[in-house]
């Protein structure tokens, strides 16, 4: 079999463009999903029963669905429910944001819950208000535990963005597979795609390991 690696260089524009879309999708999703997760966690931990239930249902629902199904669902059902036609990028973004918000909500909730109750009690005993105790005692400790988990979620998200290629968002996976079907250089294009994902993902995974070592809580 003859391999023609030149084809990868010839289509570098499509690959670079796809990579940029993948990175943008990751960043924008996280920008939405961090506040989204905080909001859901606050709802879950707050005093209002209905809000806590709504948050719990949302989180459990999206954590227990395959992401690819959420992507399809967003593509076919959302326009009809909302009555607006969204472009593929926004649709993919919405699906990813729903999914990652649910995971982030659990991360924040677990982070806050992991700070021992005695910490809040001690803060209150010192005369702090509930809000002060939360902001000055609980959250700084929770942040250390949340950070490594958020970083792991970031890497998962980076990889999961590849799933929006099924609704023709021009990300790295979609562009690489498009060039593959145009040129029939299957092995070259798919390997190039894998190598680019690897090149971007590997340092991120290593950084996450470092964050876990640096901030991880040991018993």
* Residues contributing to the site for another protein (CB under 8 A): 1, 60-61, 63-70, 72-73, 76-77, 80, 155, 159-163, 165-166, 173, 177, 180, 186-187, 190-191, 193-194, 197-198, 200-202, 204-206
**Nearest CB to another protein, comparing residues 67 and 137:** 67
**Nearest CB to another protein, comparing residues 32 and 78:** 78
Alpha-carbon span 62 to 154, nearest angstrom: 17
Q: Is the dihedral of CA 44, 27, 25, 19 positive or negative?
A: negative
**Nearest CB to another protein, comparing residues 17 and 128:** 17
DSSP alpha helices (H): ranges in 114-185? 117-125, 130-132, 139-160, 172-183
Inter-residue contact 7 to 183 (CB < 8 Å)? yes
CB of 1 to another protein, least distance (A): 6
CB of 22 to another protein, least distance (A): 10
Using alpha carbons only, what angle is made at residue 13 by residues 8 and 16, rounded to the nearest 5 degrees? 90
**Nearest CB to another protein, comparing residues 106 and 112:** 106
Closest CA relative to residue 165, chosen from 176, 154, 155: 176
CB of 31 to another protein, least distance (A): 21
CB of 163 to another protein, least distance (A): 6
CB of 7 to another protein, least distance (A): 14
**Nearest CB to another protein, comparing residues 41 and 188:** 188
Closest CA relative to residue 23, chosen from 208, 172, 164, 168: 172
- The distance of Cα 207 from the centroid of its chain, to the nearest Å, equals 16
């Amino acid at each position: 079999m003859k391999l023609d690696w030149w084809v990868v260089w010839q289509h570098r524009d499509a690959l670079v463009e796809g990579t940029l879309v993948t990175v943008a999708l990751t960043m924008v999703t996280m920008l939405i999903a961090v506040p989204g997760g905080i909001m859901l966690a606050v709802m879950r931990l707050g005093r209002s029963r209905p809000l806590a239930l709504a948050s719990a249902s949302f989180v459990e629902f999206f954590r227990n669905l395959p992401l690819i199904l959420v992507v399809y669902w967003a593509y076919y059902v959302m326009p009809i429910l909302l009555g607006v036609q969204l472009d593929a990028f926004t649709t993919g973004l919405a699906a990813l944001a729903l999914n990652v918000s649910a995971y982030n909500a659990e991360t924040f909730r677990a982070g806050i819950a992991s700070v021992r109750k005695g910490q809040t009690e001690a803060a209150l005993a010192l005369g702090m208000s509930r809000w002060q105790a939360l902001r000055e005692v609980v959250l700084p400790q929770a942040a250390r535990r949340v950070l490594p988990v958020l970083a792991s979620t970031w890497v998962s998200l980076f990889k999961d963005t590849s799933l929006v290629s099924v609704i023709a968002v021009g990300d790295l996976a979609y562009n690489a597979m498009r060039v593959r079907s145009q040129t029939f250089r299957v092995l070259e294009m798919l390997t190039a795609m894998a190598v680019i994902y690897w090149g971007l993902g590997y340092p991120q995974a290593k950084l996450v390991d470092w964050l876990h070592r640096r901030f991880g809580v040991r018993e």
